[in-house]
Amino acid sequence: MGIFRSLAKITVGTCSIFTFFDVVGYPAQVLGLSMYPTLQGEDSRWWKRDFVWLSTWNLHNCSKGTILTFTCPRDPTSVHIKRISATEGQMVRPENRNILQEIPKGHYWMEADNPQNRNDSNIYGPVASGLIKGRATHIIWPPNRWQSL
């Protein structure tokens, strides 16, 4: 009977953790230079890179300036972190193009903070809200960079 009770506790604990990560949020490491200087992910040593808290709560009401993670529209195996620069119904002028583009319903225009190192909506266009994975709310590592985003 003791083994079943232990197994039940482990199962409930594991399910609780996965539910928390799915519903509330989870930590994630920042990789790359595209969000520099806001987020630092360029160092080869993991402990020198920023870790952010990604909230999965209420991802439907995002506004300009919010930093989101999302599945890249061109590469479903890649997750990007960028800032919303326009929302549905707004007009944008993609970099190096002489046209105005309206952001479709249910989409965001995502841009990197670092103009020298960008792989963003200027390349792959508007991002569907269904591709959004989380909202970066805080830098949680390293301790000297703790802050709200």
Segments making up each domain of the chain, as ranges: 27-148
Taking the C-alpha atoms of residue 91 and residue 72, their distance in angstroms, rounded to an integer, is 21
CATH of 27-148, one of 3.40.80.10, 3.10.20.30, 2.10.109.10, 3.40.50.150: 2.10.109.10
Residue 10 in this model has a pLDDT that exceeds 80: yes
Give the residue, 25 or 44, on which the prediction is more confident: 25
Q: What is the per-residue pLDDT for 118?
A: 83
* Confidence bin at 1 (pLDDT 50/70/90): low
pTM of the prediction? 0.87
Q: List active site positions.
A: 34, 82
Chain segment 34-55, per-residue pLDDT in tens:
999 999 998 888 888 999 999 9
Please answer whether residues 80 and 70 qualify as being in contact, where contact means their C-beta atoms are separated by less than 8 angstroms. yes
Residue 97 in this model has a pLDDT that exceeds 90: no
